[in-house]
Structures are given as structure tokens and as C-alpha cells.
Amino acid sequence: MNNWTPKNKIVKFAVVTAICSVLLYFIGLLIVLNEIKKVENFYSDTNSESFKEEKFWAIKSIAENNKESIQTLKDFFVQKDDEVKFIEQIEGVAKASSLKFETSSIDVRTDVKNSFKEDIYMKMNVESSWGNIIYFIDKLEKMPFGVSIGNINLEANVPGNWSGSVEFLIFREK
């Protein structure tokens, strides 16, 4: 019997076919994995968008429920360009308290830590009776704005008449 030995061409063809099959298998596998990844990303993005929308509606609902408190907080800060009006209100309180007064300094300082507000330091020289000065300070503290009394320096130069300075801090929204 004659042994059959494969020809060189048949072996080369079989090897090339096997290599092509393996390459096509891995290329197909990469394409399928890529498509699966796209579907997963799309699903994840859909969940993210729905989460963002749900979060938006929750925040909007909270804002609606706390509208009055939010407005009170906004009113606490002197708004930009309302400084003159606010200083006129302080001077009106001083006039209503029967004080002789003079605004001696106004200084605006920006706090690097709090990027949403600026501080306005104001110093006012006052002269009147003790009761009128205390009434003025009490009215300052009860203003609907953010006013913090800093330093009060008073002395009685004539019995019943006090003079000195009142320093306070006003919070302004940037």
C-alpha cells in the first residue's frame, strides 16, 4: 500500500485557513464586546439622566416648600448696588433715635474662604443720651439685614451726654 503524504500546498492552505479562522473569531469577539460595552454605557447614561431629573424635581420641591425661608435668607444679605439704600436706612434709624451722627468710614473686604459674600465694615461717630444710643444699637441689631455690632466705644463728656463710635459689620452678597 502506498502511504499518502499531504502535499505542501494542502498543509499551507490548512494552516492559513486555521489562522484566518482564529483571527476572524477574535475580531468578531472584539466587535461583540464593544457593542456590549456601548449598550452598558447607554443604560448607565439613561440611569444617570433619570437620576439627575429626579434630583432636580426633588430640589425644586424643597425650594417651593421653603420659599419663605429662602427669601428671608436672601434678604439677610445686602444686595449688590443696594449699599447706598442700606446706609440710608441705617442713617434713618440714627435720626429716629435722635442721635447726632457721622459716618466716619466704610470699608469693603472680600473673604477668600466665602466666595458668596463680602463684608462691609462701617464706623459711625455718635453723640446723644445713653438711652438714645442704646435704642439705636438695639434697632441696628433687629434690622432684617445681616448686621453684626463690632466695637462700641463711648464716653460721657457731659453728664447725660455720651459720645463715641459704633463699629458694625454688614454682610453683602457678591
Strands (E), the chain: 100-110, 117-128, 147-158, 161-173
Q: Quick one: pLDDT at residue 10? A: 81
Give the pLDDT score at 121. Answer: 85
User: Can you spell out the DSSP letters for 3-21?
Assistant: PP---HHHHHHHHHHHHHH
**Residue 122 pLDDT:** 87
**In angstroms, what is the C-alpha Rg of the chain?**
39
Adjacent-strand bridge partners of 122: 106, 168
Greatest CA separation for the chain: 143
Question: How far from the centroid of its chain's Cα atoms is residue 102's Cα?
Answer: 36
Q: Ranked by mean pLDDT, which of 1-10, 109-118, 157-166 comes out on top?
A: 157-166
What is the model's pLDDT at position 71?
78
Residue 1 has pLDDT above 60, yes or no: no
**pLDDT for residue 29:** 93
pLDDT at 6 over 80: no
State residue 54's pLDDT score: 83
Amino acid 3: pLDDT: 65
| pLDDT per position as a tens digit, 87-142 | 888 888 889 888 898 888 888 777 666 666 677 888 999 999 888 988 988 888 88
pLDDT at 33: 93
Burial (CB < 10 A; 0-12, 13-18, 19+), residue 72, is: exposed
pLDDT digits (tens, 9 = 90+) for 22-76: 999 999 999 999 999 988 888 777 767 777 888 888 888 888 888 888 777 777 7
> What pLDDT does residue 25 have?
93
For the full predicted model, state whether its pTM sits above 0.85.
Answer: no
